Amino acid sequence: MPHPNGLLTHAELTTIGDEDLVRRIDQLYAGTPSDWRLLLANLLRDELLRRGQERATAAMLRWTRQVRNMTVAILVLTIVNIVIVLLSVWTAR
């Protein structure tokens, strides 16, 4: 439910879709210029940027996990390879 003054509540701001947020920003910039409209448009723009940063951070964390898993796999395979080589050298004597 919107705030009595017509602005979004915090819960609405964090759950509203990106497209709707962009539409609201465009409406504010299209209206008669005023400090209040500019401030509100910048607030909504900052929320949109925060969401983008949050998505980028999540993607980077997924990538980091994948690199870590690959590093562990390479470590395990390297150890297995060393053991095989050592056994092969030891049995060749």
pLDDT value at residue 63: 98
Interval 66-87 mean pLDDT? 98
DSSP 24-91: HHHHHHHS---HHHHHHHHHHHHHHHHHHHHHHHHHHHHHHHHHHHHHHHHHHHHHHHHHHHHHHHHH
pLDDT value at residue 18: 94
Answer with the residue of higher pLDDT: 77 or 93.
77
Interval 7-34 mean pLDDT? 89
> Is the pLDDT assigned to residue 8 strictly greater than 70?
yes
Count structural domains, the chain: 1
In a domain, 74, yes or no: yes
> 43-67, pLDDT tens digit by residue?
999 999 999 999 999 999 999 999 9
In a domain, 1, yes or no: no
In a domain, 45, yes or no: yes
In a domain, 3, yes or no: no
User: Whole domain around residue 37: which residue ranges?
Assistant: 10-92
pLDDT value at residue 71: 98
Interval 73-93 mean pLDDT? 95
